[in-house]
Structure 1
Amino acid sequence: MDHSHDRVPITSPADLLAAVPYLLGFHPTDSLVLIGLTGPRVAVATRTDLPHPDDVAAWVDELTPSQIRTLHQATADTAIVIGYGPAAAITPVMDALNPRLTATGIDLFDALRVTDGRYFSYLCQNPACCPADGTPFDPHRSDITMHAIVAGCHALPDRDALVASIAPATGPARTAITRATTRAKAHRSALVRDAGRNALINAGADMLRTALTRYANARTLTDDELAWLTVLLPVTAIRDAAWQATDSQPWHLAMWADITRRADPALAAPPAALLAFAAWRRGDGALASIALDRALAANPTYSLAHLIDQLIRAGLPSSVLDGWPDLDQLHLRLLGDADA
């Protein structure tokens, strides 16, 4: 994820480790985190599940090219690698990955392992600052944590909590939206039959304006309004209007997250893909990835979700769409990265 907007004063490994959950949006476990720096600034942060011990070599072969692309696209000249887990899981990964990174010209500033509240450096052998039994740290007592909270950043307990934050609604809320969606589908059919497709597109534009106004003012849609929007979003013209209206404002994320969570699961692909786009534009790669999972679970062939997935896998920074929409330029960038 792109963190060019972050301004957190990091002066030690403990500071960096306290900042990582706020860079990712959750506290990582059993993970490999790669931090890319441009000068003293965090330019990008990515997280990957650790491989099975028998799969380390193949995992590193697959991971390294995408990580290198991500670092280069973010103009990062220095990297810090952090492994979260026991030594038996982290050390083989570090032994395989770190030489591959340095061989491509990336300056590896440090390689850390976080285990049971202590961090260990694979590069520093000075016992004065990096003792063999590790250095204890408490991220909850860090000034970095306070700085992040005051700045409005949040870190969920783990990735599962982030997944749960946009999981389909259950119980009475699910029942209510199912009934509202049935009514909305009937209304859509009647509108097309009586007034034609242009009337449907106009209705979608009106509903989109209502949604944008509502969430910009920290309010939400009713079940009937939300159901009406979700039965209209599969229309490409309406979806594209929503896409063009979506960027990185926090309330855009809040809007599409709420609509994704409350929507009938069968209709979740458009709002989840738009949430992924907003999250990617804001630099929240973890949420973008989870939103893409929701979109593709609802519709495995959904083109917008696949396009955003291409953007992320190509390591393109969100700034590639500054001044968008220019889809021709975007496709050329993707083709160029595929040929590289």
Structure 2
Amino acid sequence: MTTFPLDPQDPDPRDARDVPATRPPRALRLRTEADVLAFVPYSLGFHPHDSLVVIGVGAHGRPMTGRADLSGDADEARECARTLADAVSVNGSVLAVVVAYTDDPLWAALSAESLLEELADRHVPVAHVFRADGTHWFPLLPGDAGWSDATAGEPYDLDVHALTAESVAEGRVTYADREELAASLDPASPELVEAVADALDGLAALTGRGALRAEAQWAAAWVRHRVGHPVEVPRWPTAEDTARLLRVLAVPAARDVVLAEVTLPTARAQVPLWRALARLAPDGHRGPVSAMLAFAAWLDGDGALAWCAVDRARAADPEIGLATVVAGVLENALPPTTWQPVDPASLPLLSA
């Protein structure tokens, strides 16, 4: 059992190329491998498999967690290592821990060594490197404490870890893998989606600046109310409200009025709303609302969900501009704090 000083103040979910969240400080000490292994799914929102994960901690204790697929190909391993190391560096990490999730020790060593080299080039020290297969963890590199016993491994059980229990108590959903997380964005029941489609069919087209402006302002106020009263509203918005909102999102100038409502302080409450709306959207209307979910998830620090939503948006419409923007900030590991709030009065549709 290795003890190393990692004191992240604030867990935040992410996937490969993702960025750190801004959340209320919360002391969380990671002192053993079991602590790290419990923290990773807590922060990612799913249990990684065949993955290389790095936890970087900044000078003030705020962490970032990056994940990439493991590969047995040296060139692919090096590229993944560069991506993860760039994310660690961009987020100002001063210490890192590396975990390879796999049954294959050779793949683990290849990918971990590449990442260690990349982190060394960026002057980020690594506190520990190990492999986990779901039941045991193993020191990865010669010189690690316990290397002589690496073939046996050390058992761990996340089901009994305090952080797992705390996650359940908080009502956090941790998915079995990234595929299950992506599936959580599947359309809602056919009846609910069909009701929204019928409501859309009954709406007249928005014509004229005045009508578009009025609907955009209604949509922004509706989102503001839903986010401000999360306990008082039902899980699924009505078909009529959803249809009106989707109609607004179809026009970029009107969508930007609604986008201005998605801010760092409200991002946590925004995510479940946009997830519900994305799942209610019929074919032909899923792109813009999925992109809105991606943006809200990024601001909330949930990079894994943000990538899944970007994928959904692009599958619906490869030309969705907002999805391209979110993909860019994720690829470049830009933290949500880089986002500058938009003054609604400055938007073309609302300006005089």
Q: TM class by shorter-chain length?
A: 0.7 to 0.9
**Residues 43-84 of structure 1 deviation map (CA, whole Å, 9 limit, x = unaligned):** 210112222x2xx22213322333232112211012211111
Q: What's the CA shift for 1:324?
A: 1.9
1:155 to 170, 174, 184: 174
Identity %: 28
Equivalent in the alignment of 1:333? none
Q: What's the CA shift for 1:104?
A: 2.8
Contact 1:201 1:237 in 2 (8 A): no
- Output the amino acid matched with 2:95: T
| SS class of match (1:10) | coil
Q: What's the CA shift for 1:260?
A: 0.8
Q: What's the CA shift for 1:254?
A: 0.8
Structure 1 length-normalised TM: 0.85
Tell me how many residue pairs correspond in the alignment.
Answer: 315
| SS class of match (2:152) | coil
RMSD of the TM alignment (CA)?
A: 2.3
- Output the amino acid matched with 2:240: D
Aligned partners of 1:38 and 1:119: how far apart in 2? 25
| Cα distance change of structure 1 residues 265 and 9 upon mapping to structure 2, 3 Å threshold | farther
- Output the amino acid matched with 1:206: W
Equivalent in the alignment of 2:239? 223
Matched, 1:203 2:219: no
2:248 to 232, 250, 254: 232
- Structure 1's consecutive aligned runs of 4 or more residues displaced over 4 angstroms after TM superposition are 128-131
Equivalent in the alignment of 1:67? 84
User: Higher helix share goes to which structure?
Assistant: 1
| Cα distance change of structure 1 residues 269 and 81 upon mapping to structure 2, 3 Å threshold | same
Aligned partners of 1:114 and 1:11: how far apart in 2? 16
| Cα distance change of structure 1 residues 307 and 4 upon mapping to structure 2, 3 Å threshold | closer
| Cα distance change of structure 1 residues 140 and 73 upon mapping to structure 2, 3 Å threshold | same
Q: What's the CA shift for 1:42?
A: 4.8
| Cα distance change of structure 1 residues 152 and 38 upon mapping to structure 2, 3 Å threshold | farther
Aligned partners of 1:137 and 1:106: how far apart in 2? 28
- Output the amino acid matched with 2:94: D
Q: What's the CA shift for 1:204?
A: 2.3
1:146 to 143, 150, 165: 165
Aligned partners of 1:254 and 1:229: how far apart in 2? 16
Q: What's the CA shift for 1:101?
A: 2.4
- Output the amino acid matched with 2:61: R
Any stretches of 5+ residues in structure 2 without a counterpart?
Answer: 1-18, 344-352
Matched, 1:107 2:119: no
Equivalent in the alignment of 2:5? none
| Cα distance change of structure 1 residues 166 and 274 upon mapping to structure 2, 3 Å threshold | same
Contact 2:223 2:261 in 1 (8 A): no
Contact 1:36 1:44 in 2 (8 A): yes
2:97 to 53, 69, 80: 80
Structure 2 length-normalised TM: 0.82
Equivalent in the alignment of 1:94? 112
Equivalent in the alignment of 2:258? 242
Q: What's the CA shift for 1:39?
A: 4.7
